[in-house]
Amino acid sequence: MVADAGMLDLAMIFGAGFPPFRGGPLRHADTLRLPHVVARLSALAAEKGARFQPAPLLVSLAERGASFTDPPAS
């Protein structure tokens, strides 16, 4: 569990070697725009299998036009 998207991005940069110039995987997904990420993952799932199916949270954020770096809803 992490407190926010920024902490996860830092963990992936320092712990897993994600390229720091991309800002972390969640920031990178925000940059690409979440509807695009969901569409690409869905296409990969259709082609390569269920392991590429986008997570429900990702789909929900994309449908709402939100992002990982938005402040949490109150």
Q: Which residues contact 61 (CB under 8 A, 6 or more apart)?
A: 34, 67, 68
- 10-residue mean pLDDT profile of the chain (74 residues): values are 91 96 95 97 98 96 92 64
Q: What is the pLDDT of residue 23?
A: 93
Q: What is the pLDDT of residue 48?
A: 97
Q: What is the pLDDT of residue 72?
A: 66
Delimit the domains of the chain by residue range: 5-64
Residue 12's closest CA among 23, 4, 67, 3? 23
Q: What is the pLDDT of residue 70?
A: 81
Query: Which residues in 11-27 are b (16+ Cβ under 10 Å) and which e?
Result: ebbeeeebeeeebbbbb
- Measured in degrees and rounded to the nearest 5, phi and psi for residue 3 equal -75, -35
Encoding tokens for residue 72?
């949490």
